[in-house]
Structure formats: structure tokens, C-alpha cells
Amino acid sequence: MTAVESPTAAASGAAATAKFARSRATADTSPERLSAIAADALAALAGVIDEHGVTYPEYRVLKQWLIDIGSYGEWPLWLDVFIEHHVEEVAYRGQSGTKGSIEGPYYVPGAARLPAVCTLPMRADEAGERLVFAGQVRDLDGAPLPDATVEIWHADTLGYYSHFATNTPDGILRGTVEVDAEGRFAISTIKPAPYMIPHDGPTGWFIEKAGWHPWRPAHLHLMVKAAGKRTITTQLYFGGGEWVDNDVASAVKPELTLHPVTDADGVARVDYDFVLDPA
């Protein structure tokens, strides 16, 4: 197992929280629906307290941890790791196209627009095994979607994401790829590494005290869009890689696993097609 250094929890959490806060999320939720959801959530929590006989010292530790996770700016991190995959499963209900997965806290809009055959922005001496990720975007009937875009972002070989770590130039290993007339694309990049989620703050304390691990398997993030189609946000993993069978975020799905083949030049190549549902 490779020990991958991670950005500090405070710095990474603050960056994720600041990014999320700028968007000022809203939802068209009626007071009646909010009341029903809140009542069920509180009832479920009350059931856990009753079942496990939660003590006052444990309750006070919980209050302190809630304060700490807010002070560290880690709510986006904690929620995206432990809660988002459930929300994503609900969002996918009724769809027939490509499976979705969690977005995570490290998405940044406005990535550089690139042609169908392209290389992601990276350092001149970017470390890592070269990867060519290619495929086609189609509708449910198999017709290509020539107006589609494939937005991609991923970590480097140390587990860092640009915009969220001081040692990575902004914009690297991110791009919005415009497919060709047949909906095809071929993206040259590097294979990312597995990485630990920031674990030196309250999210890490939570994981450590529970006896869990903080690792995510290597993955590519994708957001695929086309006019009149439902946007798909997903992640693709590398078959046989570390932590694929034990992802801390519980986001791996068999349908989202890649099996690249390395050619004579040492370049890993893999095809993966996206199928979009009607909007």
C-alpha cells in the first residue's frame, strides 16, 4: 500500500466549505415536506439513542464534535463521504442510462473547454502513468449526441485536487471536453492514485474512533451533459485497485469499473461510453 499524503483537514475543509457557500444552494421544498422529513430524521435519531442507550457523556461528546466539524469547515466533506451516496441512489431512480455516483466536495465549475481529442491541463513534469480515456455519448436509442460535453476532474498521483491544495496549480487535471460529430471523445491524462480523505480533523477523528479507514480508491469524476438530456454525474474506478472493494464513501458500483490495457508504449487505454436519459 502506498502512503499518500493528504491536504490538511482545516485547509481542505475550509476550501470546500467556501466553495459550497458561494453557491448558496436552494431547494423547492414545501413547509409540509420539510416538516415530514425533519420529523422522520429526528425520530430515527431518537430510535438510535434508545436502542444503544446513549449516555450523557456520549451526548456531550457529540455536541462538541458537531461544533468542531463546523469550526473546521468539514460539513461538506463529512456529508459527501457518508451521506451523499444515499441521496444519489434516490436521484438515479427511474433512469435507464449510465449509473451515477457521488459528486464529492472537489468539483469546480468553469473548467477549461477542450476539443474531443485532447490532453488535460497538467504540470510540464506531471508524474503518473499515462492514461487515454475514450468513449462515446449516446441517447437511450443508441444515437450519438454531438452537442454533449464530458467534464472530467481527478486527483494527481499524491491524491491532491487542484483548487483544494496549495501545492497544485489551479485548473490542472480538469477539463470540459466537447465531443465530436459522432459523440466521441479521447482524453489523455494520468491515472490518479487512491487517497485518504482529509483525516487530521473531526472527520478523521470520527473515522478513527469508529475503527474505520479513510481511504478512497483511485477514480475519475465525470459530469456528462447534452441538450434535452438528464445530466449524469458519476465516478469511474479502476478494477483490481486498492480500496475498490472497501471505499470509505461507499460509492463504488460494478457498472462503474474500468479495466485499462497498457500498450507497448506504456500508455493505459480504456473506452467507456455514456448513455443519457431524457430530461
Please report the DSSP string for 8-19 in residue order.
Answer: -HHHHHHHHHHH
What is the residue-averaged pLDDT of the chain? 92
pLDDT at 33 over 80: yes
Position 5 pLDDT exceeds 50: no
Supply the range of the domain harboring residue 271: 1-279
What does residue 31 show for φ and ψ, rounded to 5 degrees?
Answer: -60, -35
pLDDT beyond 80 at 9:
no
Question: 8-22, 209-223, 230-244, 256-270: which range is least confident on average?
Answer: 8-22
Cβ–Cβ under 8 Å, residues 113 and 150: no
With a CB cutoff of 8 Å and minimum separation 6, the contacts of 199 are: 6, 9, 207, 208, 214
> How many domains, the chain?
1
Whether the model clears a pTM of 0.95, i.e. scores above it, the answer is: no
CATH code of the domain containing 161:
2.60.130.10
